[in-house]
Amino acid sequence: MGGRILRGGAFKPRTSPYSFQGLGHEGLEILRTVADEYGLYVVTEALGVEQLPLVAEYSDIIQIGSRNMQHYPLLWAAGETGKPVLLKRGFMSTIDEWLKAAEHIISRGNERIILCERGIRTFETATRNTLDVNAIAFVKQTTPFPVLADPSHGTGRADLVVAGARAAVAAGADGLLVEFHHNPEEALSDAEQALPLSSLPRFRSEIEAIAQAMKRGLA
Domain range annotation of the chain: 5-213
Size of the chain, expressed as the number of residues it contains: 219
Q: What is the mean pLDDT of residues 57-68?
A: 96
* Distance separating alpha carbons of residues 49 and 52, to the nearest angstrom: 5
* Distance separating alpha carbons of residues 50 and 41, to the nearest angstrom: 23
Q: Computed from CA positions of residues 50, 54, 56, 59, in that sequence, does the dihedral angle turn out positive or negative?
A: negative
| Assigned fold of 5-213 | TIM Barrel (3.20.20)
pLDDT band per the 50, 70, 90 thresholds, residue 9? confident
What's the whole-model pTM score?
A: 0.94
